[in-house]
Structure 1
Amino acid sequence: MNLNSELKALEELSSNAKQIQEDMLEEILRSSANTEYLRRFLHGSSDKELFKKNVPVVTYEDVKPYMERVANGEPSDVISGEPITQFFISSGTSGGKQKIYPLNNKYFQKRIFIENLRNSILSKHIKGVEDGKREEVVSIFVPFACSLIDAIKFLEIHWKELCNNIRSGRVSEWITDLGCRDSVSKVLGVPNAELADKIERECGQTSWEGQMSQCIPILEFYSSKLPLVSLNYSASETLFGVNVNPLCKPQDVSYTCVPNTSYFEFFPVDEGNNAQVVDLVDVKLGHLYDPVVTNHFGLYRYRMGDILQVTGFYNKTPQFRFVRRKDTVISVHIEKTTEEDIVNAVNRVTTVLESAGLMLMGFTCKSDMSTFPGHYVFYWELKPKNFDGIVKLDNNVMVKCCCVMEESFNILYRRHRRKYGTIGPLEIRVMQQGTFYSLMEYFISQGAFAHQYKTPLCINSPQGLAILEDRVISQFFSDKSPPR
């Protein structure tokens, strides 16, 4: 497809979302009604209304045994009417456990379509972006923003050694992996003093500001006025949608659902467990939903656990913003602090850190029940905005950070913290620089993929916590209860 045909396809899909979705479900049922999983509910029928009436809305634990059977060698028709060609393994950092999801050729066809579509949208707004690398890098793409931050942080630490390698044309001796050495040696080629000098001039500046959710403030520091673009929203379960306004602020991103990737239903979040799922075109503006996905790959009425809010419509197709993960909360009493609460609190506290010349490079948190009353613990990795590498912590600033975060939490937290004393003072533990890199290495060693990895917002892994605790250099507590 060329640029115009892809954008035309988006107009057609979004204008006919209802019919596209009906056709999608019919196609999936025609192919998979006789799978072992669906046969229990449909008895071989491909009737769409029977599907909605009889097939239950499920979570991963409900379908895990079927996934594992096929992954262990049983026929694809246990779950899918089309051959399963491979399995996708989730990172395990969002919910704490890795999950496996089936894939087949339909997935890759849809993935190519989404990638071409998002590239066409981006090319429409930014000229030359499709040209890739010229004299200078035109764009950098990563699946998760934190991956780019990790790469920049690594470059900050090792740029001098990189320059030496380029200047000499030789790889550092401590890099012992033969495959890595061979690949890098081919890129290095012969000594290149001119390139080494150029990199040295850029990286040797006193501050890297202007050279390059919680990642946004850090990326804005490095990127200066360069656009930060979130092109699409994809999950392990489905390719969901694209951002038709790529130059909007990262905080304002909404994704237009692409109705030919899966069959979508939505579970209303605010209406209790007795709520009924609704079709894609029947969602309401401003309401919160958990997507329920049926696809060609073996998932049927699968509840994703992502909380999305309807922000508008593109033609007849709704647009959503990602709010939080459904199951990512911390609690020490009866309060529930969500992912959105945590991110909002961290965003508020960045202004306090900036006034002290500090940047928050990464964080995670846990509920600490080893004290009475229990309290929240936040692990922070900080970096000075100037480039001397020395983090100077002012007790008043850090205590204020604790208080500002507590003020940002919901009324139930504040009430039980202030009035009843059933929640203890919030604690911030500052860690050595490089700690989150070590945490990433641990999760990768346990099977997570580097390109998928993202720092868990709330951590419950004993081994991961041990890595954090071993690198704590300072602790601070809020010194007053938050207002009501």
Structure 2
Amino acid sequence: MGLKASLSKVFAALVNRQLNRIRSNAVALQQKTFTNLVDAAIPTAFGKDHDFISINNYEDFKKNVPLRDYEDLRPYIDRVVNGEEDVMWPGKPAYLAKTSGTTSGVKYIPISKESMPEHIKAARNALLSYIHETGKADFVDGKMIFLQGSPVLSENAGINTGRLSGIVAHHVPAYLQKNRLPSYQTNCIEDWEEKIDAIVNETVNEDMRLISGIPPWCQMYFDRLSAVSGGKKIKDIFPNFKLFVHGGVNYEPYRSRMEEVIGTKIDSIETYPASEGFIAFQDSQKEKGLLLMVNAGIFYEFIPSDEYYNENPTRINLKDVELDKNYALILNTSAGLWGYSIGDTVKFVSKNPYRIVVTGRIKHYISAFGEHVIGEEVEHALMSVAAKHGVDVIEFTVAPQVTPDAGQLPYHEWFIEFGKEPQDMATFAAEVDKALQQKNIYYFDLIEGNILQPLIVRSLKKDTFINYMRGQGKLGGQNKVPRLSNDRKIADGLKVFVN
């Protein structure tokens, strides 16, 4: 074991003690965060408009600060983007993180000098928690790769602007820089496919031990590594590759395919970073869920997801959450986001400490017939049946078909790219449908009541989702295919790829 690995174990023990104090004082730390955030923003334009000086508790805050999404906050954010100071948080932000929107087009999320270090600290602590629990630190002595966006930043009204992963690249600790790949020049390549090929060339002969990125794009990297190495498994290309760090999407639908191309099971760490803040990370290989960051400049609120579109939904803070209940996640941050709906849904799997799983997106659901099927349910239904049948799923998306052919009932249409197809597609589809009925009582009632017919699976050609994302100009980076849509936009675009 090298010096870095030995020192990392000492540091990991120290950080774990700090995390234990945070774990045991989560509610008090959230209250402290709430007070600090409100006090800091009193002199800002937002603070004055919402009478922050009169806010003494959470009930006052809810009365003064409405829930908002990006479009609702945009009048304030536009002022920030135009260079105005003291709008939502004191001063100007250190960065603007550029993200893809839907109705909003390009979105600009402020990152302040107070919030930026929390991104780095959380990522660091995820690795140190792994080292402390497992005792495995050898990866620190080898090469590490972070598949991410370009670190090239533009300037907007005196504020550096770019993708979150590119911004973070400028803050990688010095002790990791020597081990880190790809090179800065390669990381700056904008075209994703050209960049992947360059990364493959740079890394194929290196001692890669840790690989990090969004699963579908890591899969693409692994496939190309295997291709240039004569079909070798990743474990044979990188014998010391022991740890995969991922985030952005649920890893489970990718796990079997990834392990197949790697050639073995491998430890993994799930993270939950967002431009709005680093929200949670997997702190244990033994316990389910991600540790919520309660002491990182974010005050969390939660809305029961089935009330999200109500005129006056229930709005609670951490101390009142319940286990196994889906909540829409609301953020208040040290970068000046207030009552901000990030669009994700989460579920608590533990309250001691507070651990969550990400269950989907508020806008990514199917409820064309009142069923309100969510991402967690379709992923569980598909992957449980796929495991039973030895089926390999590369990627999928689901949409309602509300105007079927004459004489047919409406149905959910599943577009699936298989690595290994079911031997009997009809049986496979029927079992997935049954599994979904067991997860969602409303869907069960619609099937039983002959309002819907059982789901239909469309098998897609190889590389369908890569080709589809390429056609949309969204190949690589932090772009992801929505697993669920309540309309036919994606589904209709995939029709040409059906086998």
> Structure 2 length normalisation: TM-score?
0.72
Which of these residues, 449, 453, 465, is aligned with residue 419 of structure 1?
A: 449
Match of 1:117 in 2: 125
Match of 2:26 in 1: 17
Match of 1:101 in 2: 109
- For 2:210, what is the secondary structure of its paired residue? coil
8 Å contact kept, 1:96–1:461:
no
8 Å contact kept, 1:285–1:312:
yes
Quote the Cα distance in structure 1 between the aligned partners of 2:23 and 2:298. 14
Within 5 Å, give how 1:41-120 maps onto structure 2: 41-42=50-51, 44-45=53-54, 47-49=56-58, 50-71=60-81, 73-92=82-101, 99-120=107-128
Match of 2:279 in 1: 240
Larger radius of gyration between Structure 1 and Structure 2: 1
Which of these residues, 386, 400, 411, is aligned with residue 367 of structure 1?
A: 400
Quote the Cα distance in structure 2 between the aligned partners of 1:283 and 1:416. 30
- Cα 1:462–1:351 shift into 2, 3 Å: closer
Aligned letter for 2:211? I
- Cα 1:466–1:284 shift into 2, 3 Å: closer
- For 2:481, what is the secondary structure of its paired residue? coil
Quote the Cα distance in structure 2 between the aligned partners of 1:19 and 1:336. 35
- Cα 1:91–1:224 shift into 2, 3 Å: farther
Which of these residues, 463, 470, 474, is aligned with residue 496 of structure 2?
A: 470
**Residue 437 (structure 1) shift:** 0.8
**Residue 224 (structure 1) shift:** 5.0
- For 1:31, what is the secondary structure of its paired residue? helix
**Residue 343 (structure 1) shift:** 0.7
Within 5 Å, give how 1:230-379 maps onto structure 2: 230-245=269-284, 247-248=285-286, 252-269=288-305, 273=310, 276-314=314-352, 317-351=353-387, 353-354=389-390, 358-371=391-404, 373-379=409-415
8 Å contact kept, 2:301–2:316:
yes
Which of these residues, 246, 253, 263, is aligned with residue 214 of structure 1?
A: 253
- For 1:382, what is the secondary structure of its paired residue? strand
Match of 2:157 in 1: none
**Residue 269 (structure 1) shift:** 4.2
Task: Determine which structure has the larger strand proportion and give its number.
Answer: 2
Q: Deviations over 1:371-409 (max 9, x none)?
A: 15322111111224xxxxxx7x75xx1111221121122
Aligned letter for 1:138? R
Match of 1:452 in 2: 478
- For 2:452, what is the secondary structure of its paired residue? coil
**Residue 415 (structure 1) shift:** 3.1
**Residue 339 (structure 1) shift:** 1.1
Quote the Cα distance in structure 2 between the aligned partners of 1:365 and 1:451. 23
8 Å contact kept, 1:232–1:255:
no
Match of 1:171 in 2: none
Q: Deviations over 1:52-105 (max 9, x none)?
A: 43212223332133223432x141423222312332233458x99654321122
Quote the Cα distance in structure 2 between the aligned partners of 1:231 and 1:14. 18
8 Å contact kept, 1:106–1:296:
yes
- Cα 1:43–1:336 shift into 2, 3 Å: closer
Is the counterpart of residue 139 in structure 1 residue 210 in structure 2? yes
**Residue 43 (structure 1) shift:** 6.1
8 Å contact kept, 2:302–2:316:
yes
Quote the Cα distance in structure 1 between the aligned partners of 2:489 and 2:467. 12
8 Å contact kept, 2:466–2:475:
no
Aligned letter for 1:373? L
8 Å contact kept, 1:332–1:423:
no
Match of 1:227 in 2: 266
Aligned letter for 2:253? Q
Q: Deviations over 1:146-166 (max 9, x none)?
A: 22122223445xx2xx3xxxx
- Cα 1:406–1:89 shift into 2, 3 Å: same
Structure 1 stretches lacking a partner, 5+ long: 163-198, 206-210, 385-390, 474-484
Equivalenced residue count is 407
8 Å contact kept, 2:277–2:298:
yes
**Residue 201 (structure 1) shift:** 7.1
Match of 1:436 in 2: 465
Match of 1:32 in 2: 41
- Cα 1:276–1:61 shift into 2, 3 Å: same
**Residue 335 (structure 1) shift:** 2.0
8 Å contact kept, 1:230–1:253:
no
Which of these residues, 403, 414, 428, is aligned with residue 430 of structure 2?
A: 403
What value does the CA root-mean-square deviation take over the aligned residues?
3.4
8 Å contact kept, 1:33–1:81:
no
> Structure 1 length normalisation: TM-score?
0.74
- For 1:348, what is the secondary structure of its paired residue? helix
- For 2:230, what is the secondary structure of its paired residue? helix
8 Å contact kept, 1:14–1:259:
no
